[in-house]
C-alpha cells in the first residue's frame, strides 16, 4: 500500500483532475489505515464529479464504518439512483474483511426493509 500510495500521489501531482489516480490514492490511504485522509480525498474528488459511483460507493463504506448509518444510506441510494452499481463488486476486493461485512450486513438489512414495505403495500 505505501508504494501504491506514492505512485498514486505522483500521478495526482501530474494531473490533479485524474479521478482514477485520486481513487487509487484514497484506496491506498484506506489500506494503510489513514481512513480520515482517504475520506477527505474522496470528498474533494466528489466535489469535481458528484455523480461518480466509485467515489460514492467508497464514501458509503467509510460512513458506515464510522457508524453514520443515515449518511451511508443516502450515499448508497445515490449510487443506486445513478444506476452504476458495477463499481461495488471490485471495491469489495479493496475493503478489509470487517468493513466488507459491515457493508454487506447493511445492504442486506436495507434490502429486507424495502421488500417488507413492498409486501405490506
Counting the structural domains of the chain, the total is 1
Give me the pLDDT at residue 5, please.
85
Q: How many residues does the chain have?
A: 121
Rounded Cα gap, residues 5 and 11, in angstroms: 10
The string of pLDDT tens digits covering residues 28-47 is: 999 898 999 999 999 999 99
Domain that holds residue 48: 1-118
Say if CB 53 and CB 80 are below 8 A apart.
Answer: no
Among the ranges 51-55, 86-90, 107-111, which has the highest mean pLDDT value? 51-55
Say if CB 82 and CB 51 are below 8 A apart.
Answer: yes
In this predicted structure, the answer to whether residue 55 has a pLDDT above a threshold of 80 is: yes
Give me the pLDDT at residue 76, please.
83
The CATH number of the domain holding residue 18 is 1.25.40.10
Q: What is the mean pLDDT of residues 44-54?
A: 91
CA dihedral 41, 90, 54, 15 (to 10 degrees): 60
Amino acid at each position: 500500500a505505501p508504494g501504491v500510495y506514492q505512485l498514486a500521489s505522483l500521478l495526482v501531482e501530474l494531473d490533479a483532475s485524474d479521478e482514477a489516480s485520486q481513487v487509487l490514492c484514497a484506496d491506498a490511504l484506506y489500506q494503510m489505515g489513514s481512513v480520515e485522509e482517504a475520506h477527505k480525498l474522496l470528498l474533494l474528488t466528489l466535489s469535481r464529479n458528484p455523480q461518480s459511483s466509485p467515489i460514492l460507493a467508497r464514501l458509503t463504506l467509510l460512513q458506515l464504518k464510522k457508524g453514520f448509518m443515515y449518511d451511508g444510506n443516502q450515499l448508497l441510494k445515490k449510487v443506486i439512483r445513478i444506476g452504476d452499481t458495477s463499481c461495488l463488486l471490485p471495491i469489495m476486493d479493496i475493503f478489509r474483511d470487517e468493513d466488507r461485512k459491515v457493508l454487506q450486513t447493511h445492504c442486506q438489512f436495507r434490502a429486507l426493509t424495502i421488500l417488507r414495505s413492498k409486501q405490506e403495500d
